[in-house]
C-alpha cells in the first residue's frame, strides 16, 4: 500500500452516509458505490472513512443496507463517469457539486429500517429535508483525518455520521 494512504482498520467504524435524492440512493444501491461531493465536506468525509469500515445509506429518516468499504477512489471528471448521480447545488453559492470521491462497497446485509419510531417519521423526514445533515446535529469529531487529506476544522456539508 502506498505510504500516506490509510490502511484497513483493525477496529472498523460504522458510518451512516446521507444521500441527497431517492434516485441517488437507488444508484448507490444498484452499483454498491457511495459518492461524496467535490467540496470541503465531501473531501473531509472521504478522508475519514477507511477501507474496512462499515457504512449504511441514510435517506428519508431510514437506514438502508450494510456494506463494507472495499476500495476508496478519487476521480477527475466524475460528472462524466457512471453512475450518473444527480448533482447537488449549493443554495448559498449556486455552485454545483458532482461526486468525485467514491467508495466501492461490498454488500453485507439488506435492510430498510426507520431511525425513529413510526409516529415520529413525518417529523424526522421533514426536519432532515429542511435542516440537512450537518455534523453539529449528529456527531462530535473525535479524530483528525489522515495527513494526506485536507486539513479543515469545520465542514459546510457533511455526508456521513460516525456512530460510536
pLDDT in tens, 23-54: 999 999 999 999 998 888 888 889 999 999 99
Contact of 12 with 73, CB cutoff 8 Å: no
Q: What's the pLDDT score for residue 156?
A: 30
Where is pLDDT greater, at 105 or 6?
105
Q: What's the pLDDT score for residue 152?
A: 35
In a domain, 115, yes or no: yes
In a domain, 5, yes or no: no
Q: What's the pLDDT score for residue 136?
A: 34
In a domain, 84, yes or no: yes
Coil, helix or strand for 65?
strand
Q: What is the CATH number of the domain that holds 35?
A: 3.10.590
In a domain, 147, yes or no: yes
- Give the model confidence (pLDDT) of 76-92 as tens digits: 888 888 898 888 887 78
Nearest by Cα to 97 from 29, 26, 46: 46
Question: pLDDT category, 7, cuts 50, 70, 90?
Answer: low
* CA gap 111, 89 in Å, rounded: 29
- Give the model confidence (pLDDT) of 145-162 as tens digits: 444 444 333 333 334 555
* CA gap 115, 128 in Å, rounded: 12
In a domain, 8, yes or no: no
Domain count, the chain: 1
Q: What's the pLDDT score for residue 11?
A: 84
Range of the domain at 19: 14-163
First-to-last C-alpha distance (Å) of the chain: 27
- Give the model confidence (pLDDT) of 96-131 as tens digits: 888 999 999 999 999 999 888 777 776 766 666 655
Nearest by Cα to 84 from 23, 32, 18: 23
In a domain, 156, yes or no: yes
**At 136, which helix (H) or strand (E)?**
helix 135-138
In a domain, 9, yes or no: no
In a domain, 1, yes or no: no
Amino acid at each position: 500500500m502506498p505510504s500516506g494512504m490509510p490502511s484497513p482498520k483493525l477496529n472498523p467504524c460504522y458510518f451512516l452516509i446521507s444521500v441527497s435524492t431517492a434516485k441517488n440512493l437507488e444508484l448507490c444501491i444498484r452499483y454498491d458505490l457511495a459518492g461524496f461531493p467535490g467540496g470541503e465536506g465531501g473531501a473531509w468525509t472521504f478522508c475519514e472513512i477507511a477501507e474496512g469500515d462499515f457504512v449504511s445509506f441514510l435517506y428519508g429518516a431510514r437506514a438502508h443496507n450494510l456494506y463494507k468499504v472495499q476500495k476508496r477512489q478519487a476521480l477527475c471528471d466524475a460528472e462524466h463517469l457512471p453512475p450518473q448521480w444527480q448533482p447537488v447545488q449549493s443554495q448559498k453559492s449556486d455552485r454545483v457539486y458532482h461526486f468525485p470521491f467514491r467508495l466501492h462497497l461490498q454488500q453485507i446485509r439488506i435492510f430498510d429500517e426507520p431511525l425513529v419510531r413510526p409516529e415520529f417519521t413525518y417529523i424526522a423526514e421533514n426536519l432532515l429535508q429542511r435542516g440537512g445533515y450537518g455534523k453539529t446535529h449528529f456527531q462530535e469529531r473525535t479524530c483528525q483525518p489522515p495527513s494526506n487529506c485536507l486539513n479543515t476544522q469545520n465542514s459546510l456539508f457533511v455526508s456521513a455520521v460516525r456512530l460510536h
